[in-house]
Amino acid sequence: MADENVLDDLHVLELGGGVAAAMAARFLLGYGARVTRFEPTDVVHPIGLTPSQRIAYLPGIEVVTGPASELADRVAAVDMIVTDRQPSELGLLGLDFAAVRAARPEVIVVSVTPFGLTGPDADLPTTNAVSFAAGGIMSLTGDADRPPLVTGGEHAYALGGANAFAAAAVAWLGRARTGRGDLVDISLQECAAGMLEYYGPITSYLDTPAQLRLGNRSRATWGIYPCLDGWAGVFALARQVPALFTLMDDVELTEPRFSDPVLRLLPENEEELTAKLYVFFSDLTMAQIRELSLQSRVPFGIVMTPADVLAGETPADRGFWDEVAAVDGSTLRIPGRPFPGFAWNSDVQETTASAASVPRASDVEAADSSLRQLPLAGLRVLDLTMMWAGPFATLRLAEMGADVIKIESPSAWDNIRTLIPQDDDVADPWNSGFYFNAYNRDKRSLTLDLAQQEGRELLLRLVEHYDVVIENYRSDVLDNLGLGYETLRHHKSDIILVSMAAFGKTGADAAFVGFGPVIETLSGLASLTGHGDGEPFKTGISYGDPVAGTFAASAVALALKRRMATGTGLHIDLAQRETAAVLIGDAFVDAADGSTPVHRGNRDVVIAPQGCYRIADDERWLVLSVRSDSDWSSLCAVIGRSDLAGLVVEERRARHDEIDAVIEQWLASVITPTDPEDVLRKAGVPAIEMRNTRTLLDDPHLVERGYWHTTHHPRMHSYRQAGVSWPFADSRPQPRRHSPLFGEHNAEILQGMLGISDAELVELTAKNVIANAPINPTVG
């Protein structure tokens, strides 16, 4: 465990607003920064923080209030500004980022707003639900025959907080390397649009209609089921299904209609297999299911509430929790550090002071072109990850300028390459997968069979030339290969290793396997989402994966910053369950009071009304929130119900069903070309027609911001792909190249870096240590 406060030379001004900036500031403070939160008394945030959110995200932070006129002096005294204020609010505060940065080029500004600082929607009134509906994830969540669901909690804002923290860590490292700051213009909409798993890429690449939500089960072997004492799920890849079928002990499952991974997906077979899984789970308790998961290594998950997680053994053993004093004098547990490896200010009643400063721009001898240098330019990363969580992390590193080499075994390649069946006439389908292409661009490909001695030796020779190794294998795999941290450190003393197993490498749960949905069930997240009938729902994507990937990227940046100061490497043992749990800190505060999750559908515990309402008979939905009495009065004027305008929030909450019916009636009567979204926005009411995987592609705001891009790929036709999630104003990261072909850079890397001869290359190929195609490729 490192004993340094890695950010103790950073002074941050958090311009007090909502959850996104508060969460980012909480993590910066935890890792050592001095953080001051300024809450202007004359420009009040339209929503702010609930009491539980203030406990979860502001402990230890110096909170200062005062008029906006005091802001200039505070800005002049800090290294970094983190804010979630929209452009119109910044104008009222008199804060001009261009002027601030012109006067002090070393200042870093991290802005995290619903739609970014530019574009036609930049100043639209919004809430968490409206922001969540803008990014596409909501369109994939919930039952197909009911309204789409907002994920329980404040996840549009929480994702913003995670991304703002990661971008801040990268920007701070960049400043330590160059002396110059930057402006990062993070859009919540773009963060979500860039993490639509395979649903977004398939819509764009195959030019399909919008992908629709599939309920709690995207397929029989990937979903949540009721069990004897709660809810549980199985999330098995094709290679894990045989072990699942063995547990089910049903002779019919040996028939080709179930054993064949393609035939199994036929509707009639899916329906029958789903029925069998209902029966299987109905006879088991959650404890029995967890035990089966450990024995069989089938990825089962049980739906835990925040209270269940608080009572669990592993998070406590891993030092995950912080303790804060409640108003009544009792002590509450809240999520602490998202990942270990660094000193963490767990004594959150104290505020850390800044100890030093990094070079100012005037102290750095650099040409003007340094302004355009990407923050991670010149840094090298060996990427041993697969599926989605790890590749998501290394994509972010590659976007920021790192040279990322993706390493795959000829006999155990990244499943994402072949997960989606393709037409038989595709010669090399492992090179033309839109899913793989979406999250592996800007990387190079090297194949190495690490099960063979020659493969391991070549990897260790590469380690001598690299800065970072990142892996998301099962917790014991790297050590079993003889490639654990001590071995890597023997070959390069300052190597940084980031491991990102589902539950970490230590603790009672370390041996369990899990993908994103498993993480969602076991971190408390799934227990917060539902239609209101008691059934917990997973998000429509493998939500835990990109969340873990975002935090893994920030861990790399902090470790590199630490290495600059100490000259030493580090092993970071990130647990994906912990990176998910930190996004719902306020739910753990509530759980400490004995509260249990209540599924409210799309309603909110504070504001009312809020909901998702059908616009037409097809998949068009309006998400609407009323933040205040003023919003309510404006809504009543638009829908012609002035008789209801006097209702206060408590009355609106009590009459929510009635109000929902009134809104639905109005929407049914709206005559085109009237656009309800436009009408409500002009009235100042937060509302949006929910974006889906199709409408996002043509969203005028995203188009104007230049979010979508096309990159030539030698095996694929051109199509629109998601852009970068952290737009740095000066260094301007942009997608540079397509995802690599399998083994595309074998010779370039092995010969160019290690001096391997032509004859040795031929021999390695003959032994299948390296290859330019997977050995016996199969779907799944």
pLDDT (tens digit per residue) in 391-404: 999 999 999 999 99
Least confident of 33-37, 357-361, 436-440, 663-667: 357-361
Report residue 351 CA to chain centroid gap: 28
Read off the pLDDT of residues 557-583 as tens digits, 9 standing for 90 and up.
999 999 999 999 999 999 999 999 999
Q: Please, which pLDDT band fits residue 353 given cuts at 50, 70 and 90?
A: very low
Tokens 């800090």 correspond to: 78
- Looking at residue 493, its pLDDT comes to 97
Cα-Cα end-to-end distance for the chain = 38
The DSSP 8-state label assigned to residue 136 in this structure reads: S
Quote the pLDDT of residue 423.
Answer: 66
Q: How many CB atoms lie within 10 A of CB 92?
A: 13
Q: Amino acid identity of 7?
A: L
pLDDT (tens digit per residue) in 487-532: 999 999 999 999 999 999 999 899 998 899 999 999 999 999 999 8
Contacts of 159 (CB under 8 A, 6+ apart): 188, 191, 192, 547, 550, 583
At 671 the pLDDT is 59
Number of C-beta neighbours around residue 176 at 10 A: 17
User: Position of tokens 């996840």?
Assistant: 155
Nearest residue to 418 via CA among 387, 382, 450, 451: 387
By C-alpha distance, which of 682, 628, 603, 582 is closest to 45?
A: 628
Of the candidates 512, 491, 500, 490, the residue with the CA atom closest to the CA atom of residue 549:
500
Mean pLDDT of the 536-549 span = 95
Compute CA distances 113 → 90, 156, 713, 718, whole Å: 11, 10, 33, 30
**Per-residue pLDDT at 3 exceeds 70:** no
714 against 349, higher pLDDT: 714
Query: How sure is the predictor about 17, in pLDDT bands with cuts at 50, 70 and 90?
Result: confident
Residue pair 148/690 in contact (Cβ under 8 Å)? The answer is yes
- Torsion angle in degrees (nearest 10) through CA of 610, 611, 613, 618: 140
- Cα 564 to Cα 78, 178, 506: the distances in Å are 21, 12, 28
- Does CATH place domain 607-697 in 3.30.750.200? no
The beta strand positions in 601-735, using DSSP E, are 610-614, 621-625, 687-689
Domain residues of the chain, as ranges?
A: 11-202+316-354+583-592, 607-697
User: Which residues have a Cβ under 8 Å from the Cβ of 369 and sit 6 or more positions away?
Assistant: none
> What CATH superfamily classification does 11-202+316-354+583-592 receive?
Crotonobetainyl-coa:carnitine coa-transferase; domain 1 (3.40.50.10540)
Look at residue 355 and tell me whether its pLDDT is greater than 70. no
Q: Are strands 11-15 and 80-83 parallel, antiparallel or unpaired?
A: parallel
Give the residue from 277, 306, 191, 359 showing the smallest Cα distance to 590.
306
Question: Which residue from 11, 585, 30, 556 is spatially nearest to 344, judged by alpha carbons?
Answer: 30
Instruction: From 391, 423, 377, 433, select the one nearest 733 (Cα to Cα).
Output: 377
How far, in Å, CA of 701 to CA of 677, rounded?
14
Comparison of pLDDT for 254 and 673, the residue scoring more: 254
Closest alpha carbon to 718 in 71, 204, 129:
204
Given 3-state DSSP classes, what are the helix, strand and coil percentages for the chain, each rounded to the nearest 5?
40, 15, 45
Edge-to-edge order in the sheet of strand 468-471: 444-447, 403-408, 380-383, 468-471, 496-499, 570-573
How big is the CA angle at 586 (ends 581 and 589), to the nearest 5 degrees? 100
Cis ω before 673 (30° cut-off from 0): yes
From CA 709, how far away is CA 210, in angstroms rounded? 19
Cβ 731 vs Cβ 178: under 8 Å: no
Place of tokens 């309603």: 603
Coil vs helix vs strand at 752: helix
Do residues 504 and 574 touch, judged by C-beta distance below 8 A? yes
What is the 3 state secondary structure string of 602-636?
Answer: CCCCCCCCEEEEECCCCCCEEEEECCCHHHHHHHH
Amino acid identity, position 628:
S
Helix (H) or strand (E) holding 646: none
Is pLDDT at 419 greater than 80 in this prediction? Answer: no
Please list, in sequence order, all residues whose beta carbon lies within 8 angstroms of the beta carbon of residue 146, skipping any fewer than 6 positions away.
Answer: 531
- pLDDT confidence band for 598 (50 / 70 / 90): confident
The mean of the pLDDT values for the chain is: 91
**Is residue 241 within 8 Å of residue 314, measured between CB atoms?**
no
CA-to-CA distance for 624 and 613, rounded, in angstroms? Answer: 8
Beta-carbon contacts of 207 under 8 Å, excluding residues fewer than 6 positions away, are: 719
C-alpha 432: how far from its chain's center? 25
Tell me which residue of 59, 58, 38, 62 sits closest to 49, measured CA to CA: 58
Mean local confidence (pLDDT), 308-331: 87
pLDDT at 242 over 80: yes
Look at residue 348 in the predicted model and tell me its pLDDT.
59
Q: Report the Cα 223 to chain-centroid distance in Å.
A: 20
pLDDT digits (tens, 9 = 90+) for 747-770: 999 999 999 999 999 999 999 999
Residue type, 442: D
Band of the pLDDT at 48, cuts 50, 70, 90?
confident
Segment 587-593 shows an average pLDDT of 89
Parallel/antiparallel/unpaired status of strands 687-689 and 621-625: antiparallel
The phi, psi pair for 80, rounded to 5°, reads: -145, 140
Is residue 646 over pLDDT 60?
yes
CB 35 within 8 A of CB 62: yes
pLDDT in tens, 203-214: 999 999 999 899
Provide the H-helix boundaries in 63-154. Answer: 71-75, 87-93, 97-103, 128-134
Decide if pLDDT at 370 tops 60. Answer: no
Q: What percent of the chain has pLDDT over 90?
A: 81
